[in-house]
Chains A and B, each alone.
Chain A
């Protein structure tokens, strides 16, 4: 590259010009893992009206290899993703991986390393048992006595205690997300006859978390095509522009950890807002796709991400603001509560945020959405990844 610096020529603007998902279901027994990722990738290329030869690099993510028992699956997936003869990178940051994968891909375009990058994340949970993969019997260690929900339920109780939130907030979130999912043809759970009463009367698994307030186990993949300014100018459909993106990590357990509102999460959001010039997230952001695997995480993250003051997140949920027709719709796609191919879940959040600002979300479109946040977290609230996308190119 030339040594001259043009005014304002820092990072290359990054546009999302293609998005593809599979129809998420509990088991895709008709396809191999290669067939599953191919389906999402082909749809993203189709959306961008590009071919395999137009892609310069592939960035792929998924949760632990133990989940399917294919070690380093990216090696075997190179031909299914058109990566032969191109750089291919694998990202892994537990449940947040779909988000961090997209950010690694965006970084390659922003740094002008590559012009057009295919990024993809997947999980085929039907090939294994994620709970098994997460609870290996490590010698000498006390076994976790409670399963995945039991790991998170005490944090939910701590949130309720800290904020005096009434018991029914979690059910409101689950009822909303399941209704939103009915508008999203790719969502896994389509509970046509869902009612608030059904959520509230579902079995209490890990008190205070009920069955209907937990996420399903899904097979699915999500892919995006990211490109530079020139690529976006050629795109057949409006791009979503990346205005900010950040990742943060912290240990799962350490003295002083705030599991209800982890510092890595709030720091990550603050970094994204700073990059995007957002000073009042509640007012300036039109839609949020946040990673809510258990219903109560919606009010918890509303506070952690700066949409509500500490202790006030549940009031935002209770007021209806986070409904599809509210002033801060959260998870219009139905969210993780309706679809959870673990490794893909974060990328689905990022992609759904992009669909909103492209005006391409179909029946779950938030009217007039111009700025949207995609959020993912993983491990025991250990990894965070977020991006903010907008209708207009950054800096305009």
Chain B
């Protein structure tokens, strides 16, 4: 395509979402809910990061000397050019020069400062590489520039993490003059040894999602609210998917036809759980089972109760028991019917 041709709106039309849905089933309201994924990872540091973070705790910034003589800050364990192990630690200055920056006008949770600040790459005096951190610049973006001099503002409470450097702050008047201005004493060899070294950190991670289960699952969930289980039949293989997915994973075609299944079903296989699963508040032992609801093309899972756990068996006929609250059946209990023959459910395990 030649420059200047205005094809873009057309070529993007498939991304704009204005097409009607592929199948003709009326769309229900589509559900969504927050999904927060959060975990405190326990990171072991190894010798080089241990020295670096122990140093920060003790208000000392360490780098490592690479094979070509450059000083790398923060230090790495392996040479960025030769890949050889590098362990010659050096101490660098606590003032440095901004090599580039970006203004952050609306800080988010967990960022170093709550008010607007600049992300900066700072080459500390004596270092050859730059460190990423925050610059507290209360006078706004107009007060920040590449080449400006900054200094470390240490956190009051330091524990051996990168946030022991609370942030950087402007170091007064001076732009770095052309040529070397660094104190002759830096970088200075350092053993990397500290009393009571930091050997691990806890790295809390948090991701905030908005989860939407889509149209097919939303229809299924709406039906569950009235204690009905709704699946979808594949037009090609005729299997009924519960829960429905909007498409058949085997045939790769949309599944539009709604089919009510159950409420009764057959225990196709199971295990007896003797240890508590994380986040599950059920007294052990209990039975976790695969249950093929009558009419369904595959089994779903649930808990079996109303019968001693050691009397549950493959082929047991069960029905759902709903609690006052809860989106899904609380458990399934025996119906009293004769057990199903293995041949009737052997492909629904």
Asked whether B79 lies within 8 Å of A140 as measured between CB atoms, the reply is: no
B82, B285, B349 — which one has the most chain A CB atoms within 10 A of its CB? B349
Asked whether A137 lies within 8 Å of B279 as measured between CB atoms, the reply is: yes
Q: Is B314 an interface residue (CB 8 A)?
A: yes
Contact string, B53-93, partner A, CB cutoff 8 A, digits 1/0? 00000000000000000000000111111111100000000
Asked whether A38 lies within 8 Å of B277 as measured between CB atoms, the reply is: no
Asked whether A34 lies within 8 Å of B77 as measured between CB atoms, the reply is: yes
Asked whether A69 lies within 8 Å of B205 as measured between CB atoms, the reply is: yes
Contact pick for B349, options A140, A251, A260, CB 8 Å = A260
Contact pick for A142, options B42, B237, B301, B349, CB 8 Å = B301
Asked whether A32 lies within 8 Å of B45 as measured between CB atoms, the reply is: yes
In whole Å, how far is A383's beta carbon from the nearest beta carbon of chain B? 15
Q: Is A154 an interface residue (CB 8 A)?
A: yes
Asked whether A128 lies within 8 Å of B39 as measured between CB atoms, the reply is: yes
Q: Is A68 an interface residue (CB 8 A)?
A: yes
In whole Å, how far is B201's beta carbon from the nearest beta carbon of chain A? 10
Contact string, B270-289, partner A, CB cutoff 8 A, digits 1/0? 11111101111010011011
Contact string, B323-349, partner A, CB cutoff 8 A, digits 1/0? 000011000000000000010001101
Asked whether A79 lies within 8 Å of B76 as measured between CB atoms, the reply is: yes
Name the residue on B nearest A67 (C-beta): B41
Binds B, one of A101-109, A175-183, A203-211, A280-288: A203-211
From 100 to 145 in chain A, residues with beta carbon under 8 angstroms from any chain B beta carbon are: 124, 126-129, 131-133, 135-145
Name the residue on A nearest B46 (C-beta): A32
Asked whether B44 lies within 8 Å of A206 as measured between CB atoms, the reply is: no
B41, B268, B282 — which one has the most chain A CB atoms within 10 A of its CB? B41
The interface residues of chain B lying within 8 Å CB-to-CB of A138 are 35, 211
Please measure, in the bound complex, the distance between the C-alpha atom of A13 and the C-alpha atom of B347, giving whole angstroms.
Answer: 42
Asked whether B41 lies within 8 Å of A128 as measured between CB atoms, the reply is: yes
Please measure, in the bound complex, the distance between the C-alpha atom of A157 and the C-alpha atom of B342, giving whole angstroms.
Answer: 13
Q: Is A234 an interface residue (CB 8 A)?
A: no
In whole Å, how far is B275's beta carbon from the nearest beta carbon of chain A? 5
Contact pick for A131, options B271, B278, B290, CB 8 Å = B278
In whole Å, how far is A132's beta carbon from the nearest beta carbon of chain B? 6
Asked whether B288 lies within 8 Å of A146 as measured between CB atoms, the reply is: yes
Asked whether B31 lies within 8 Å of A127 as measured between CB atoms, the reply is: no
Please measure, in the bound complex, the distance between the C-alpha atom of A79 and the C-alpha atom of B44, giving whole angstroms.
Answer: 18
From 79 to 102 in chain A, residues with beta carbon under 8 angstroms from any chain B beta carbon are: 79-82, 84
The interface residues of chain B lying within 8 Å CB-to-CB of A31 are 44, 46
Asked whether A135 lies within 8 Å of B270 as measured between CB atoms, the reply is: no
> When A69-B203, A145-B277 are in contact, do A154 and B271 touch as well, CB less than 8 Å?
yes
Please measure, in the bound complex, the distance between the C-alpha atom of A82 and the C-alpha atom of B82, giving whole angstroms.
Answer: 7
Asked whether A256 lies within 8 Å of B205 as measured between CB atoms, the reply is: no
Asked whether B273 lies within 8 Å of A145 as measured between CB atoms, the reply is: yes
Please measure, in the bound complex, the distance between the C-alpha atom of A136 and the C-alpha atom of B278, giving whole angstroms.
Answer: 11
The interface residues of chain A lying within 8 Å CB-to-CB of B280 are 143, 145-146
The interface residues of chain A lying within 8 Å CB-to-CB of B349 are 154-155, 158, 258-260
Q: Is A368 an interface residue (CB 8 A)?
A: no
Contact string, B186-225, partner A, CB cutoff 8 A, digits 1/0? 0000000000000110010100000101000100010000
Asked whether A255 lies within 8 Å of B272 as measured between CB atoms, the reply is: no
Please measure, in the bound complex, the distance between the C-alpha atom of A84 and the C-alpha atom of B67, giving whole angstroms.
Answer: 15
Contact string, B226-251, partner A, CB cutoff 8 A, digits 1/0? 00000000100101110000001110
Q: Is B308 an interface residue (CB 8 A)?
A: no
Please measure, in the bound complex, the distance between the C-alpha atom of A371 and the C-alpha atom of B86, giving whole angstroms.
Answer: 41
In whole Å, how far is A259's beta carbon from the nearest beta carbon of chain B? 6
Q: Is A150 an interface residue (CB 8 A)?
A: yes
In whole Å, how far is B316's beta carbon from the nearest beta carbon of chain A? 13
Contact pick for B273, options A69, A150, A257, A258, CB 8 Å = A150
In whole Å, how far is B108's beta carbon from the nearest beta carbon of chain A? 17
Please measure, in the bound complex, the distance between the C-alpha atom of A68 and the C-alpha atom of B81, giving whole angstroms.
Answer: 27
Asked whether A157 lies within 8 Å of B314 as measured between CB atoms, the reply is: yes
Asked whether B274 lies within 8 Å of A30 as measured between CB atoms, the reply is: no
Q: Is B12 an interface residue (CB 8 A)?
A: no
The interface residues of chain B lying within 8 Å CB-to-CB of A153 are 271, 288
Please measure, in the bound complex, the distance between the C-alpha atom of A253 and the C-alpha atom of B47, giving whole angstroms.
Answer: 45
Asked whether B279 lies within 8 Å of A30 as measured between CB atoms, the reply is: no
Asked whether B301 lies within 8 Å of A145 as measured between CB atoms, the reply is: yes
The interface residues of chain A lying within 8 Å CB-to-CB of B203 are 69
In whole Å, how far is B234's beta carbon from the nearest beta carbon of chain A? 8
Contact string, B166-204, partner A, CB cutoff 8 A, digits 1/0? 000000000000000000000000000000000110010
The interface residues of chain B lying within 8 Å CB-to-CB of A140 are 31, 33, 211, 213, 217, 221, 327
Q: Is A166 an interface residue (CB 8 A)?
A: no
In whole Å, how far is A264's beta carbon from the nearest beta carbon of chain B? 12
Q: Is B320 an interface residue (CB 8 A)?
A: no
In whole Å, how far is B342's beta carbon from the nearest beta carbon of chain A? 8
> When A32-B49, A52-B82 are in contact, do A137 and B269 touch as well, CB less than 8 Å?
no
Name the residue on B nearest A82 (C-beta): B83
Q: Is A277 an interface residue (CB 8 A)?
A: no
In whole Å, how far is A366's beta carbon from the nearest beta carbon of chain B? 34
The interface residues of chain B lying within 8 Å CB-to-CB of A154 are 269-271, 288-290, 349
B47, B81, B83, B289 — which one has the most chain A CB atoms within 10 A of its CB? B83
Asked whether B34 lies within 8 Å of A150 as measured between CB atoms, the reply is: no
Please measure, in the bound complex, the distance between the C-alpha atom of A141 and the C-alpha atom of B280, giving whole angstroms.
Answer: 14
The interface residues of chain B lying within 8 Å CB-to-CB of A150 are 271, 273, 277, 288
From 309 to 364 in chain A, residues with beta carbon under 8 angstroms from any chain B beta carbon are: none
From 9 to 32 in chain A, residues with beta carbon under 8 angstroms from any chain B beta carbon are: 27-32
The interface residues of chain B lying within 8 Å CB-to-CB of A127 are 41-44
What are 7 A-B pairs at a CB distance below 8 A?
A30-B44, A84-B83, A136-B35, A145-B302, A205-B274, A206-B272, A206-B273
B residues in contact (CB < 8 Å) with A: 31, 33-35, 37, 39, 41-49, 76-85, 199-200, 203, 205, 211, 213, 217, 221, 234, 237, 239-241, 248-250, 268-275, 277-280, 282, 285-286, 288-290, 297-298, 300-303, 314, 327-328, 342, 346-347, 349
| Seed contacts A157-B314, A251-B249, A254-B298; 13 additional CB < 8 Å A-B pairs | A31-B46, A52-B83, A126-B42, A136-B37, A139-B31, A139-B35, A145-B282, A153-B288, A154-B349, A155-B349, A161-B342, A254-B249, A255-B297
Q: Which 10 A-B pairs have the closest CB atoms?
A: A153-B271, A32-B46, A255-B297, A255-B239, A207-B272, A69-B41, A139-B33, A82-B83, A154-B269, A146-B288
A residues in contact (CB < 8 Å) with B: 27-32, 34-35, 38, 52, 66, 68-69, 79-82, 84, 124, 126-129, 131-133, 135-147, 149-150, 153-158, 161-162, 203-209, 251, 253-260
